[in-house]
């Protein structure tokens, strides 16, 4: 495995912290106070900006397939630096909204897209392990950066934190990108990856790449999409409404916090574990089993009212979440080829963001029927997804589909 390319992928996930919710959420109270907004104004703006960025992301995804990746990464870094400056100094709503849009699109959207696309399409051998070692970058950022940012913000305010984030992108990320990936590396371009794979294995068949339009028409993709949306939809909805769940069940805030801690710890373990499993059994076979722990966790939460069900649920959800984080990008790369992977993944990301944005609203209405009734519906959704995975496998085995 090429350590330079793995470092490239790791850096893209680590530096995506600039636009991730766990980082931006640290500044909500201070930014709201500075702009003299109502309590829910920031949340409304944040949701709107996230949705708009998701619809723009497929346009950027096509550039990852077209241009040398160093240039796309550098352009994204420049935009992120501008975004951090806007968030540090903006004193008008329009500029703060612009800054949020830039960091959400570049950080939460484009950097992880570049990292997973380039790693997924290049590493045809041990792809799962390579993806896991790259994706772990965001978990490292989640552990290290919130305490550091909070410490600086308490003593100096939030402006230096955003300036330090922009400086890190400029002084660490950009030079590292140009050092890790050389000018004429096959890794740089989608159209050279398949040729490089054939050179490494002359006896292999020519790599067939699907376009984004062909993927959207593929029955297998249509069956898999609800499976891919399950974890982000259910997890986002339950976490956003955790106070409602705690009130209905009589749980304390500490109980929910322990559950989230269990999720973070277990997810990291199975993120790494999942890479090796995928390399042994393949992402298509693993797809049938990825959601089993999550569905089991929902059943525990549905049937057991004791407080210990909360960390058990989150732990089981984390098993599925960690495995899915690696299995899904590996599946797209294996099934649809390297040439248009950026476009495909950015389109999938659009569906994921829309599902995540809809989850808090749908869950808030669903929980009015009662927690047990809503959890029962979610378990039903999970069972349907398990059935879809089996159905999709049968379609593949019969060879019903062809690229048109």
Ordered structural domains, the chain, with CATH: 3-200 (1.20.1250.20), 212-398 (1.20.1250.20)
Q: Over range 185-190, report the average pLDDT.
A: 70
* Positive/negative CA dihedral, 24, 28, 33, 35: positive
State what percent of residues in the chain have pLDDT above 70.
Answer: 92
pLDDT tens for residues 116-138?
A: 888 888 887 788 888 888 988 98
Site of tokens 């723009």: 56
Backbone dihedral angles phi then psi of residue 280, each to the nearest 5 degrees: -85, -45
pLDDT at 107 over 70: yes
Mean pLDDT, residues 341-359 taken together: 84
Q: Which residue has the higher pLDDT, 8 or 239?
A: 8
Highest mean pLDDT out of 34-48, 322-336, 375-389: 375-389
Q: What is the pLDDT of residues 195-245, one digit of tens each?
A: 665 555 554 555 567 877 888 888 889 999 999 999 988 988 887 777 788
Give the chain's end-to-end CA distance (angstroms, integer): 34
| Type and span of the H or E element at 105 | none
Q: Helix, strand, or coil here: 24?
A: helix
Q: How many helices (H) and strands (E) does the chain have?
A: 20, 0
pLDDT one-digit tens code per residue, 280-304 = 888 888 888 999 999 999 999 999 9
Q: Are 161 and 306 in contact (CB under 8 A)?
A: no
Q: Residue 191 pLDDT > 70, yes or no?
A: no
Return d(Cα 52, Cα 64) in angstroms, integer.
19
pTM of the predicted structure, to 2 decimals:
0.81
Q: How far apart are CA 234 and CA 360, in angstroms?
A: 9
Mean pLDDT value across residues 331-346: 83
- The number of C-alpha atoms within 13 Å of 354 and in the hemisphere containing its C-beta is 12
* Greater pLDDT, 20 or 15: 15
The angle formed by the CA atoms of residues 32, 360 and 263, to the nearest 5 degrees, is: 90
Which of 324, 340, 323, 347 is closest to 117 using CA atoms?
Answer: 340
In contact, 380 and 302? CB cutoff 8 Å: no
In whole angstroms, give the CA distance from residue 44 to residue 244: 20
């Amino acid at each position: 495995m090429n350590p330079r390319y793995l470092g490239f992928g790791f850096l893209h996930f680590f530096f995506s912290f600039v636009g991730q919710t766990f980082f931006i959420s640290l500044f909500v109270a201070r930014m709201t106070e500075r702009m003299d907004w109502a309590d829910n104004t920031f949340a409304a703006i944040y949701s709107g900006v996230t949705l708009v960025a998701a619809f723009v992301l497929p346009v950027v995804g096509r550039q990852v397939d077209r241009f040398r990746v160093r240039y796309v990464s550098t352009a994204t870094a420049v935009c992120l630096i501008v975004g951090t400056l806007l968030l540090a100094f903006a004193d008008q709503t329009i500029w703060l909204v612009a800054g949020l849009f830039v960091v959400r699109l570049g950080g939460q959207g484009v950097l992880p897209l570049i990292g997973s696309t380039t790693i997924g399409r290049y590493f045809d051998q041990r792809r799962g392990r390579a993806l896991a070692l790259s994706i772990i970058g965001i978990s490292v950022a989640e552990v290290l950066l919130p305490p550091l940012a909070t410490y600086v913000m308490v003593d100096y305010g939030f402006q230096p934190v955003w300036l330090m984030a922009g400086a890190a992108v400029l002084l660490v990320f950009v030079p590292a990108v140009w050092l890790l990936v050389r000018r004429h590396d096959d890794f740089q371009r989608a159209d050279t990856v398949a040729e490089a794979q054939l050179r490494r294995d002359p006896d292999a068949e020519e790599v067939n790449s699907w376009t984004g339009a062909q993927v959207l028409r593929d029955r297998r993709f249509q069956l898999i999409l609800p499976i891919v949306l399950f974890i982000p939809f259910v997890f986002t909805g339950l976490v956003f409404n955790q106070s409602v769940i705690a009130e209905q069940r009589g749980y304390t805030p500490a109980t929910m916090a322990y559950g989230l801690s269990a999720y973070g710890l277990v997810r990291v373990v199975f993120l790494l574990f999942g890479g090796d499993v995928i390399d042994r059994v393949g992402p298509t076979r693993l797809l049938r089993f990825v959601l089993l722990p999550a569905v089991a966790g929902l059943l525990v939460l549905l049937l057991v009212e004791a407080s210990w069900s909360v960390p058990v649920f989150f732990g089981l959800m984390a098993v599925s979440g960690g495995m899915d984080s690696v299995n899904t990008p590996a599946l797209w790369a294996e099934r649809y080829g390297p040439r248009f992977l950026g476009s495909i993944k950015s389109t999938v990301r659009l569906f994921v963001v829309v599902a995540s944005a809809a989850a808090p609203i749908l869950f808030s209405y669903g929980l009015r029927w009662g927690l047990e009734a809503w959890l029962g519906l979610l378990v039903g959704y999970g069972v349907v997804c398990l059935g879809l995975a089996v159905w999709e496998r049968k379609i593949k085995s019969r060879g019903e589909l062809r690229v048109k």
